Every structure is written in C-alpha cells, then in structure tokens.
Amino acid sequence: MANTDEKIHVVMFPWLAFGHVTPWLELAKLLAAKGHKISFISTPTIIDRLPKPPSNLPSTLHFVKLQLPQVEGLPQDAEATIDLPANKVQYLKIALDKLQEPFAKVLESLDPDWIFYDFAQYWVGPIAAHLGIKSSFFSICIAAMVAFLGPPSPLIDGDDSRKKPEDFTIPPKWVPFQTTVAYKYYDIKNSFDCVEDDASGVNDLIRWGLSMQSCDFIAVRSSFEIEPEWLQVLETIHEKPVFPVGQLPPVEYELEEKHSDAWSSMKKWLDFQDKSSVVYVAFGSEAKPSQAQLTELALGLELSGLPFFWVLRTRRGIDDTDLIELPPGFEERTRGQGVVCTTWAPQLMILAHESIGGFLTHSGWSSVVEALTFQKALILLTFYSDQGINARVLEEKKIGYSLPRNELDGSFTRDSVAESLRLVMVSEEGKMYRDKAKDVSGLFGDRDRQDRYVDNVLIYLEKSSTSQESQVIFSRELSSAC
C-alpha cells in the first residue's frame, strides 16, 4: 500500500466509448479503494448505464454528468460510440469538442490535484495547465500500440514518413529491437480513416499527438511482465515519465443480473456442457462483422462440431442500416450444438464458467485480460483500431492464435474458422495455447500485482511537487523495482 496519510483528488475523463469507460472505471475504483477522491466525468447516459460499484467501495468515487450538446449529424440521445454506426462517430467528437468551456468550468469548481484524460480530449491538457492542475494522458491501449504510433510531433504536424497503409505493416524506425509487431495490411486498411480529417476537423492521430504532448506524464494499461521493451520505447520517444497501471482485471460487480432469468437460462445451458468444451464467441461492444464474414463465421462454427456460445451484435445503434443476418437455417441446424445470443450477455460470468475452453475474440484488450484471467485459450479475429497490434503482441508471445486470412482483404473461409477452433480447443498441436493461457493467468489477473502498480502510480502523484528531472529518475527506479 502507498504509505501516505495525505489523500489526493483525481478527475477522470475517458473517451465516450464503453471499451474505454470500463477499464477507466476499474482504475477509478482501485484509486478510490485506497481512500483517494475520484471524480469520474462522463455523459448522463453513459453514467446511468454503468454497473453499480461494489457495496464495500468507499464513498470516495463520485460521478459527474456532463451533458453533450446536440450537433448536426449526431442522432438524438446518442452519447456513446455503441449508439452509432462507425461513420457517425465523427459527430460524437464534434459534440465532445464543444464541451471545452463547460468542462473548464467543472474542472475549476472541482479543483482537483490531477486530471486524467483520454486521446479524444486533446484540449484537456492546456485547460488543466491554465488552471494550475497537473495532468496525465491515460491510454487503455497497450504500450506496444502507443509506441507504434510514435512521438507527438509527426502525429501533430502530419510529417510522419508513413503515408500509405503499407508503411504500417513493418515496425517503425524508433523501435530498436527485432519484432513482428506491426499491422497486417487488412487491419491498417480498415483503420486508415483515422489519418484523414473527419467532420470534427481534427483526426485521431492529431488528437493522440496533442494529448501525449501536453500532459505531465503518460499512464498506460500495461505491465513490466508483459511489455518491458515497449514501455522503454515509450519513455524514450516521449522524454517524460511513463507509468504502467497494470492490466486492470475486472472485479465482479454485485449485479442483479447475476440472479436474472436471462443469466439463469444461459448458465443452465453451460452447466450441461463438458468442462472446457465450449468456444465463446464475442467481438466487444462495437466490432461488427460484415455479412460475408458473418456467414463464414457461422458456417465455420457449425463445421467445427464444437459447442459454442455466440454473443452476436448485428447493429450499432438505431441509425445503423447495415443489418447482418445469420445464414438461412443455421440456428435450426445448430440448435443442439450452440447458442446465439443477440441481447445482453454477462461476459465475465460466461468466461468464468468451467465449460468455456476458448474464446474467439476481436483482440480488444479488455476481452483479452478477462479471458486470460480465467485461463481461456485465445483465437484471434481482428477488425480495426488497436486490435491488429494487440493480436501481433499475443502471437509473438505465443499467447494467442490468429485465424488465417487473406493478407490483402482480410477475408477468411468457414474451413479456416473450423480448423482454427479445433486446433486451439482440442488438438495436440494447439495444446501450447491452452497451456499458455494457464501459465500467464497470474500476470493478468493477480490482485496483489495489480495493487502494486496502482501504488506506484499513487506514489508518483503524491510526489508530483518534485522537479521534472527527479520525476523521470523516479519513474525508472519504479520500473526496475517491479
């Protein structure tokens, strides 16, 4: 535990996506559990959707609602990326950028010691500096992803030598070691719109660059046990302290859903399956397969012969007109083999169930952490954003197996789906992935280890009055201590 009687006040302001909000909330709970005051800022709808924190959490975690303005192109009541098709997220950023003045007033009234902010809120650092408040850019992306983006100046000025998707398929020049971590062409092609200006006028790379440039230190969801080399790259290219906050494994909430009829029905089906026999299929709150991908996935699951539990998201918000459908007759043919769930499903409780043996996942890091916490083998199928880099890191460390795909367009076949699932779930050749999931479980889900990372961050926050030079030294001392 951090040995100090003085408590600090931290404001936390994540990007308006549940894939960001959820790990941010985990960190907020860990800080609040040590008696520090946390003001967690988000939109009313997002805050109202959050699960109820555990009853034993101290009353030091407070939620602050900041109402988004209505802007042209943004559907009414859409306050999170989950409410929107991908092409309308740009309007959410316009609304977010219009919060600068009201946010500054809220921050001034809260008068915290620190503000943690996300990549989209590139304007928070200067506001905090003007108010005399220290700031941290907190990335839920792993250190390899943040390092892959590179130093701030090229991102901000647009003079990064990488201009084409192909340029991102090799490790960047500032990485001093041999690595296979880089994008596949199909992954970066799907994500390349982030380097183009969108309707907000500020593309994602500029937002990242400005956010990292204006903060006092960088916090990243990572750990020395998993990414020591990438954390060192980050500190070198940014020339400021970089702190891993740990993997932020989820703490199960005291939820009414645990006793709901929906979960009871799911659990009943899972209880009838053999131990470690079921493949769980889910691609997070935002990743959505194309119709062609959905068809091959479904037929591949059927062809594998393995029992499956599939949480399928068929649309992103009411404005998503690109509907996808399962192949005709699929659910009837597989009724005894698997379950397709198109509504709410409690991922933590599903992954914790002993019948689940493997997880076909989009490689979102929260899902990776949850799966490995419960020792589930990983089969990787990426869609966009940081998922491609996550998958390469997992491949390089032999923690996950990527489904074989066409290198240019990312297409895959039902046969490759079936073969990949059988390899990881049951074959002798894939036993290494099942064993590795068990071996690394402690590196992802150990509570004491996570507690030490939070203490390291708190020590730094509490000693923030020291000189910048001594702060950098302090960061490196903590790195070697872990």
Give residue-wise pLDDT tens across range 319-351: 677 788 999 999 999 999 999 999 888 999 999
Q: How far apart are CA 304 and CA 308, in angstroms?
A: 10
Does pTM surpass 0.75?
Answer: yes
Q: Give how far Cα 321 sits from Cα of 34, 84, 86, 190, 318, Å.
A: 46, 11, 11, 19, 8
Residue 436 tokens read as: 């590795």
Give residue-wise pLDDT tens across range 203-238: 999 999 999 999 999 999 999 999 999 999 999 999
**Per-residue confidence (pLDDT) for residue 158, from 0 to 100:** 83
**Per-residue confidence (pLDDT) for residue 140, from 0 to 100:** 97
Q: Give how far Cα 256 sits from Cα of 19, 45, 263, Å.
A: 22, 19, 10
Give residue-wise pLDDT tens across range 423-443: 999 999 999 999 999 999 999
**Residues 399, 404, 410: CA angle, nearest 5 degrees:** 115
234, 149 Cβ separation under 8 angstroms: no
DSSP readout, 379-433?
EE---STTHHHHHHHHHHTTSEEEPP--TTT----HHHHHHHHHHHHT-STTHHH
- 86: number of CA atoms within 13 Å, CB side? 14
**Per-residue confidence (pLDDT) for residue 323, from 0 to 100:** 84
Q: How far apart are CA 112 and CA 58, in angstroms?
A: 18
Q: How far apart are CA 38 and CA 15, in angstroms?
A: 17
Q: Give how far Cα 44 sits from Cα of 39, 77, 300, Å.
A: 14, 10, 41
Q: How far apart are CA 298 and CA 263, in angstroms?
A: 23
Give residue-wise pLDDT tens across range 42-72: 999 999 999 877 776 768 999 999 999 999 9
**Which structural domains are found in the chain, ordered by start?**
9-249+447-481 (3.40.50.2000), 256-443 (3.40.50.2000)
**Residue segments in the chain with a per-residue pLDDT below the cut of 50:** 1-4, 254-256, 465-482
